[in-house]
Amino acid sequence: MTDPELYAGMNEIFRQVLDDDTITLTSSMTAEDVEGWDSMNHIFIVVEIEKRFGIKFQAAEMEELKNVGELAALVREKVGAAGR
């Protein structure tokens, strides 16, 4: 999976969950940068990412993430591990 494909999938999820078609994710973006990205919506985003990419996150992994780029890297890592 390429970065553009990964970000396109994540963008779609964020736009759907947060009901905002103007969202365009960048690697440095955080929850503070996106209106409506609160703790409840974060859970919905995580669940949808897990479904879309066929992966599962551990709570400890999620707590360590600082921005969208780190989330994308974790998704890429897990998708790669699932394909082995």
Per-residue pLDDT reduced to its tens digit, 4-23: 999 999 999 999 999 999 99
Structure confidence at residue 84 (pLDDT): 53
Structural domain total, the chain: 1
Give φ, ψ of 2 to 5 degrees. Answer: -85, 160
Instruction: Please report, for the domain that includes residue 53, its CATH number.
Output: 1.10.1200.10
Rounded average pLDDT per 10-residue block, the chain, 84 residues: 93 98 96 95 96 95 93 94 61
- Match 């921005």 to its residue by tokens: 67
What is the torsional sign of CA 17, 33, 59, 57? positive
Structure confidence at residue 83 (pLDDT): 60
Structure confidence at residue 82 (pLDDT): 62
Question: Which residue range forms the structural domain that includes residue 45?
Answer: 3-82
